A = this chain, B = another copy of it.
Amino acid sequence: MAAPAAAAPLRAVAPWRDVLKRALGANRGVRHSRYVQLATVRPDGRPANRSVVYRGFLGEDSDVLTFVTDSRSRKIEEIAHCPWAEVAWYLPQTREQFRFLGRLTVVDAATEDAALQRGRLVAWKNMSDPGRQQFLWPHPGEPRGEDASVFKPEPPTGEDPVVDTFCLVCLTVEEVDHLSLAKNVRHRYVRGEGSEAGEAWQVQNVNP
């Protein structure tokens, strides 16, 4: 009887994953170190850019970066038109920048994939009460009315059902540019064609 095959790795992780985790650890004293800037392309071809909060990897063994957004936000339409995005992330304590180029997937109330829907629920539970409350506010970007009470609905707790406007946004990364301004060192990571395995990432030391 043959020996059992070695367990396949759950999922290989990208070589930049630990670099990012170390950087986040070194910057944990900076309250806004999880604020990143997410660039997308508008349906008319012009770029869009805004600050969003990084909400962690999709799971312990995942390289997918997650964010949340409101289903009524303009970026939903942008992503439907062009899924490509680049995140620019400046970490002030260590003076380093990450750029993550990849494709976005929006996970909304109608998404059927169970793992993605689980990620959406985890993100919902991890929000603060004021953070969850915002998803009950009136339509973002529309003219503001006189009635201030519409911004003070009863805040949902993490035990309440996920509200329909709450979306998880997942970035599947294809390229990473990591620049240390303190050390003047820059590395570029590019994922090999059609592979998600950590070994398939190419790393290059490039001029800053």
Interface positions of A (Cβ within 8 A of B): 31-32, 35, 37-41, 45-51, 82, 84-88, 90, 92, 97, 99, 101, 134, 137-144, 151, 184, 186, 188, 204-208
> In the complex, are the beta carbons of B37 and A137 less than 8 A apart?
no
> In the complex, are the beta carbons of B47 and A84 less than 8 A apart?
yes
Q: Which residues of B contact A38 (CB under 8 A)?
A: 49
Residue of B47, B48, B84, B143 near A204 (CB, 8 A) is: B143
> In the complex, are the beta carbons of B50 and A88 less than 8 A apart?
yes
Smallest distance from the beta carbon of A134 to chain B beta carbons, Å?
8
Q: Which residues of B contact A92 (CB under 8 A)?
A: 31-32, 35
> In the complex, are the beta carbons of A137 and B207 less than 8 A apart?
yes
Q: 10 shortest A-B CB distances, which residue pairs?
A: A39-B39, A37-B37, A39-B49, A49-B86, A49-B88, A46-B84, A39-B47, A37-B88, A51-B90, A32-B92
